Chain A
Amino acid sequence: AQSVTQLDSHVSVSEGTPVLLRCNYSSSYSPSLFWYVQHPNKGLQLLLKYTSAATLVKGINGFEAEFKKSETSFHLTKPSAHMSDAAEYFCVVSVRYGGSQGNLIFGKGTKLSVKP
């Protein structure tokens, strides 16, 4: 069965310091993986996607994620946090046959706080 686990429900960093949001997935075949960001009172916006091309994926706003098959991980990073990065981040695995979950399996989200 496919699943995705976001290891931290809340991460707090200081402005200008690196960001690491952790995600592990479980999939019976090569997955497609996405990261979405949700700012308060907004919809989800696609940050980046991995679809079996390069393992290091660059997204918008300076974020990137590395697909590591051996570790079944797809962690999201950013070298230097900005105040505007404060939001909730969702790791998503895309599956061919999702059943009642649909094709996209969402993690429970990680809330990122950025301190001045």
Chain B
Amino acid sequence: DSGVTQTPKHLITATGQRVTLRCSPRSGDLSVYWYQQSLDQGLQFLIHYYNGEERAKGNILERFSAQQFPDLHSELNLSSLELGDSALYFCASSPRASSYNSPLHFGNGTRLTVT
């Protein structure tokens, strides 16, 4: 068990809808990373927060947004959903501000299915 908790495990929704994915990092970790994993794109980095502040942005769509709260949990909001947004969304955490030289600890993911 990595200590990173993601909810819900599965989410099925319709196109055009909005969903919120939640992540609780390992105790003591200040950084939260969001990744999207799909069959055709592989693992794609979305966004990184450290202690409540956005640190780095990947190829995240404008329809997607995230935030990290004072208690360090994070939420990823996906809106105007399209079929192509169906994927596994992972949250990962680490104690440091940078993942350079520092491995991440991954949650079990939220599987999003858009119908």
Contact = CB atoms under 8 A, between A and B. Distances in A.
B107 interface: yes
Contact of A43 (B42, B58, B98, B106): B106
Contacts, number: 62
Interface stretch (A16-24, A75-83, A102-110): A102-110
A100 B102 CA distance: 18
Task: State the main secondary structure of chain A at its contact with B.
Answer: mixed
A90 interface: yes
A44 B90 contact: yes
B2 A101 contact: no
A14 to B, nearest CB: 27
Contacts of A90: 43
Contacts of B103: 34, 46, 49
